Chains A and B, each alone.
Chain A
């Protein structure tokens, strides 16, 4: 892929992000942060490539460390967001 294509994807994704996230109400700002944080754990893909295909020792070690951090980010982020969101209830849903 050439650099222009990649930049196009980058810029368009930012615009999509702005459009979607502007509509998130303040009441959900914390879950938005922790949820989007889990998504920024997408670096896990890069870590998998480095740890999984690395040929040199340094690449493997660094990839492994990155994999651990990114996985904490992903698993912890989605779980804690789920925990928080499941608390947001309207009175009717909770059986009074």
Chain B
């Protein structure tokens, strides 16, 4: 009976995730997923003989209140931080559950067991895994949250002997994991494991720079699922294993997509980022005498005679909060029968899908939000490409096979458009630290300034033109 309840929950999770394959069915999919969670919770409450109902009511009430307040008050622009933080909560919950079960199984003697759990090899190995993965997830996520929130520096924090330190800490945590399995009654080993794994989580994320955040957030997402699955092995609980593996798989796929979009291996992101590459020279020789600066009025004139426009947003749009004037300009252009689309690079922003969420919040129709592979063939027929706060993802150097840090990275081919307008504060390089020949191209006009202000100016200039 219990297993049937769990089976129903698992089916609902899978059907719910399937709903996320299209924006039309996604809202329903999410609701179905939450139904699955309700079924799982009701099932376990009916199945277990609950000794401490007050504790459960209090815990659920407190958690629901915090969760609801966070979810309903958070600004959409702060979404990367929130998602980063939630990853961590799943991780810490796994650490605590595995610890709680360990106390129960060992602490009170032979008669006590959580459900049917006994301290066999499977349970102990899974407990170690839960503690290790969960703690790495929690503290890694806290650092990621700190970086996205601006509490911790977004720059890669690198130091001498970094790799050796990481390898040593990993080895120590693995050794402690073995000790937990060999001498489970020494519960100090479990907490030592959680402590060292926490340190490992911090060490793994702190060297990673801002632009690599989408990969880290996706990876931690995967870990939070794997930690839940490990907890499922601790309790021999099928619904935890199934739901955890679904999330683990989801996170791995996202991580993989993000890595491909940067043309980098996961190992390269984790152990030697682009940020470590020496900053190449300022690019004066590339820009010298070739960069054409323009004004909002001139761009407005060009837009007046355009028939198709593609806007390419980057993290700069999110920082400047320029999405509202972007929407207003889009509406103004469409009122004049100009086709407007958005070209969105998979790693634009600080988390997978970041730009889409910002633009969707502005009520921009989702069929205008085009993926890289869809939009790239269309640049040749585009009159104006507006690059707003993006840099490395439109750098044509990536197409060359030279030894540049971004060579081979798939990019948006904005330079194929008739006119390219780049809205940017200055000519400073992007995260990869290399100059961008696009800025000096014959068909490129630079519109310098803060993204929001420039877009506001552009909107009023377009209306006046």
The number of residue pairs between A and B whose CB atoms lie closer than 8 Å in the complex comes to 408
Given A17-B248, A54-B100, A72:B108 Cβ within 8 A: no
Which of chain B's residues have a CB closer than 8 A to the CB of A45? 40-41, 44, 237, 239-240
* Contact A63 B242, beta carbon cutoff 8 Å: no
* Contact A14 B360, beta carbon cutoff 8 Å: no
A25 to nearest B CB, angstroms?
7
A 44-62 to B, binary, CB cutoff 8 A, 1 in contact else 0: 1111111111111011111
Give Cα distance in the complex from A52 to B44, angstroms.
10
Contact of B59 among A16, A22, A47, A59 (CB under 8 A): A47
Q: B209 on the interface (CB 8 Å rule)? A: no
Give Cα distance in the complex from A33 to B351, angstroms.
9
Tell me the nearest residue of chain B to A94, going by C-beta.
B363
Interface segment, B161-169, B226-234, B394-402, B438-446? Answer: B226-234
Residues 25-78 of A contacting B (Cβ, < 8 Å) = 25-56, 58-78
Give Cα distance in the complex from A17 to B108, angstroms.
38
* Contact B365 A91, beta carbon cutoff 8 Å: yes
* Contact B243 A46, beta carbon cutoff 8 Å: no
Q: B377 on the interface (CB 8 Å rule)? A: no
Contact of B64 among A75, A86, A87 (CB under 8 A): A75
* Contact B14 A84, beta carbon cutoff 8 Å: no
Give Cα distance in the complex from A16 to B15, angstroms.
11
9 interchain residue pairs of minimum CB distance: A71-B63, A17-B249, A29-B353, A76-B67, A67-B59, A75-B67, A66-B96, A30-B353, A29-B352
Binding site for B on A (CB under 8 A): 1, 3, 6, 9-10, 13-18, 20-56, 58-91, 94
Give Cα distance in the complex from A44 to B353, angstroms.
27
Which of chain B's residues have a CB closer than 8 A to the CB of A85? 23, 26-27, 30
Given A42-B40, A69-B89, A84-B79, A52:B31 Cβ within 8 A: no
Give Cα distance in the complex from A85 to B24, angstroms.
9
Give Cα distance in the complex from A24 to B29, angstroms.
12
Tell me the nearest residue of chain B to A79, going by C-beta.
B71
| Candidate in A25, A30, A74 with the most chain B CB atoms within 10 angstroms | A30
Residues 82-127 of B contacting A (Cβ, < 8 Å) = 82-83, 86-87, 89-90, 92-94, 96-97, 99-101, 103-104, 107-108, 112, 114-115, 122
Which of chain A's residues have a CB closer than 8 A to the CB of B1? none
Which of chain B's residues have a CB closer than 8 A to the CB of A74? 34, 37, 63, 67
A6 to nearest B CB, angstroms?
6
